[in-house]
Amino acid sequence: MVRPAFLLFLLLTLAGARAQTPDASPSVAPPASPSPAATSDASSVTPATTSTTPRVTFSHVNVDGPYIAMTFDDGPSAANTPRLLDLAAKDHIKLTFFLIGENAARYPKLVQRELAEGHEVGNHSYTHPDLAKMSDDAVRSEIQKTQDAIIAASGYKPVLMRPPYGALTPRQRQWVARDFGFKIILWEVDPLDWKNPGPSVVASRIIAATRPGYIILSHDIHSQTVDAMPVVFDTLLAKGYKFVTVSELLAMDKGPVAKPSPNGSKVSDPAAPVMALANP
């Protein structure tokens, strides 16, 4: 009788031990944590967390009409700017000039004439360096000296800035826009006129690439560029385009617009495109 009792005791002991052992975890992988990119994408569409960083860089805007902004860099030029102003006056069109501070100081009467005839002037640095490779203090000096030169020449304080070569880092764009109250202006159309390909080539490149809302880059320090302008102006006017200053164009902005992507889908395009390599 001892043996059966012992066996019964052993069975009862094993059963009690099993009852106190936790069940095994189910063989299901835990939910994956969202990646940082996914977290960012998700939060970006939540109204409470949407970024409020203002857009400060422009190469085009979404407009309800055939409006364009023709811009000229590196002047004023004693040899070429007066002739360009005569052409603009003849066709009753408005232009925007991004001035080198040294030239504004050298030719104050041309700065005055540009403004008196309804055009806009902007800041293009004092000596045309690559600002993206400079310290913040050096960038600030280049910009402020140009502001001072234009104000001394005309009494006008520019609200637009175009960096030489289009070169400003994203961080620089933000603080330059904030500290100086600028819009940073790039371009959609670059005829590479600084390479002096000839007036007909400059004209054909501008005419072929221009679309409503575009900002067009040229240089009034090159005689070939000014030689191209009668054809550019006459052809674009005949196509129904209306020339306005950059500030006037920005004021017409209807906001982001869906734009075809390389793969054929539509993407929102609120920011400026990648800059062309150029020598503006």
Look up tokens 């835990």; give the residue: 30
Does residue 163 contact residue 125 with C-beta atoms inside 8 Å? yes
Dihedral of the alpha carbons of 175, 72, 85, 224, in degrees to the nearest 10: 160
Catalytic residue, chosen from 73, 74, 190, 220, is 73
Catalytic residue, chosen from 119, 128, 219, 222, is 219
Judged by DSSP in three states, 185 sits in strand
DSSP state of 214: B
86 is catalytic: no
Overall residue count recorded for the chain in this entry: 280
DSSP string, 60-128: B---SSSEEEEEEES---TTTHHHHHHHHHHHT---EEEE-HHHHHH-HHHHHHHHHTT-EEEE--SS-
CA–CA dist 268, 195 (Å, integer): 34
Dihedral of the alpha carbons of 114, 210, 170, 47, in degrees to the nearest 10: 110
124 is catalytic: no
Q: Which residues are catalytic?
A: 73, 219
